[in-house]
Amino acid sequence: DIQLTQSPSTLSASVGDRVTIACRASESIINWLAWYQQKSGKAPKLLISKASILGSGVPSRFSASGSVTEFTLTISSLQPDDFATYYCQHYYTYPYTFGQGTKLEI
Amino acid sequence: EVQLVESGGDLVQPGGSLRLSCAASGFTFTTYWMSWVRQAPGKGLELVANIDQHGSEKHYLESVKGRFTISRDNAKTSLYLQMNSLRAEDTSIYYCVRRGEAFDVWGRGTMVTVSS
């Protein structure tokens, strides 16, 4: 199975900060990677698909890049609504797997 | 409005069975793969099962193979998960998810608790 490792596991930041979350795959997934945001008690929400394509209605302060095994999600200027847990997920081959999550906190 | 609504979650004893349902609306159900994703309390996300548009191709998480069965009824625009021989480690919120561009639509989830 392809393993995804996110770093850091927890990230402390402030409103207005620029933050980056990394996701490393144990083998090549080309660009079949998605990013999700999950707020406490809610279902995850798709932010990014195919490594860099912004999801419908997702603010432009979110961006992502990467390919093969190294990927990043960047939030250019943190807003109060952005404090949540973020997951990466590959959908290259079965079983699709998720990273362990990065909790973004104040 | 695109919507997925799960139902069927409950408290069940180890070894018991449960059937989850997901009612889909607001999109052409027959053109999408569908999935069940679960999340144990305080833990991360785990893809449990996938099914193609026609119900002919299915994929399962290794730990649920032989115990869980995913199915769909396109006429009723509904997705199902039959769960047998339930274990404590199956305790999770189960989300019904549409596979569009990645997992692009999620239901609110239904809670399954396996405990004596």
Give per-residue pLDDT as tens, A63-105. 999 999 999 999 999 999 999 999 999 999 999 999 999 999 9
CB spacing of A96 vs B101 below 8 angstroms: no
Instruction: Tell me which residue of B95, B80, B98, B89 sits closest to B18, measured CA to CA.
Output: B80
CB spacing of B106 vs A99 below 8 angstroms: no
Q: What is the β-pairing status of strands A70-75 and A62-67?
A: antiparallel
Give per-residue pLDDT as tens, B100-114. 989 999 999 999 999
d(CA A104, CA B111): 25
In one letter, which amino acid is B8?
Answer: G
Please, are residues B87 and B114 in contact by the beta-carbon 8 Å criterion?
yes
DSSP A40: T
CA torsion angle B22 B109 A85 A5 (round to 10):
-60
Give per-residue pLDDT as tens, B24-59. 999 999 999 999 999 999 999 999 999 999 999 999
* B59 contact A CB<8A: yes
If you average pLDDT over every residue of chain B, what do you get?
A: 97
Task: Give the nearest chain A residue to B4 (CA atoms).
Answer: A43
